[in-house]
Amino acid sequence: MHIINVYTTSSIVKINIFEVLFKKYYYSMLDLNETKTETEDQIDLRLVIRIVISYFKRYRKLIYGLSALGLVLGIVLWYTTKPTYKTSLIAKTDYTYLLNSEVITIIESLQKLRAKNEFEQLSERLNISEEKVKMLKKINALPVSIETAPNYTQTSFNISVEVSSNQILDSLQLGIINLLENTNYVKVRQESKLIRLQSLRVRLQKELNDLDSVKSLVNEVIKNGRSPTVFSDPGNINTRIIDLYEKMLITEESIKFVKPVQVIEGFKKFKLPDSPRLSIHVLGGLIIGFITSILIILIIFIRKEVHFFQE
């Protein structure tokens, strides 16, 4: 019974040793395979890098040539492209004349004519020559909110334009303002407001003349040693005259600024155009030339590989 136990124990030990050796050999083989795989990957990667470098060296003249050609084409494109200047004006109008939405609608109609190249109609509406109208590339209008411009009223609006020459900005601004002011609707309301203000001025002037007469009579009464009545108190008369003068000044100012559209800030003339930019065209030309050369080299490489496998 003891012998059997020993034999059994020794067998178990032998089996355990074989298991350990097998596992050690198995994992060593796995490590070897992984090492080989990593080595092969490193070799493949190095081979690919060498092939790429060799192709670059072989076709470097093609890369340099197309890149230089792209650079030259970028410069030529920049030189031949018409410049674009962006600028805007800020104006305001009384709500009795035009609403912001109405101003925006009128400006949108101009943009539609420009988009369709209706230069004749655009010239008639803006009252400028067709040659100058063709320099207008884009026009739009937006309301100026109190958050962005607290000093302006709710009736303020912004008109922005893109032109190919700064020389048309003065005539363009005049044409836009005249267009907004000379609609039949605005003209009628402007005339009506002017008549009301002129009538008010005449009435105020008459009251001032009457008060001056009363003041002269009161002064004459005081000079003769008599007391004026309560209703002819000099202090009350002077206060009333001052009030009338203030109203007269406000009325005169309203008549002066009875124009429907007031320009707060006109179009600015910038020396440098917003586009095209030389740096962007040069960089773009270089990139396009370089990418084109890489594509050509890639096509050559693929054709050679296909021809090799066919053989």
**249-274: per-residue pLDDT in tens?**
888 887 887 788 889 999 999 888 88
Write down the pLDDT at residue 179. 92
Question: Is residue 178 predicted with pLDDT exceeding 70?
Answer: yes
Question: Is residue 183 predicted with pLDDT exceeding 90?
Answer: no
**pLDDT digits 0-9 by tens, 71-121:** 999 899 888 888 999 999 999 887 778 888 889 999 999 999 999 999 999
Kindly state the percentage of the chain with pLDDT values over 90.
27
Which is more confidently placed, 16 or 305? 305
Which is more confidently placed, 74 or 28? 74
Write down the pLDDT at residue 224. 66
Which is more confidently placed, 118 or 54? 118
Pairing of strands 156-163, 261-265: unpaired
Q: What length is written for the chain? A: 311
The encoded tokens of residue 54 equal: 């060799």
Domain boundaries, the chain: 60-80+276-310, 83-275
Question: Is residue 42 predicted with pLDDT exceeding 60?
Answer: no
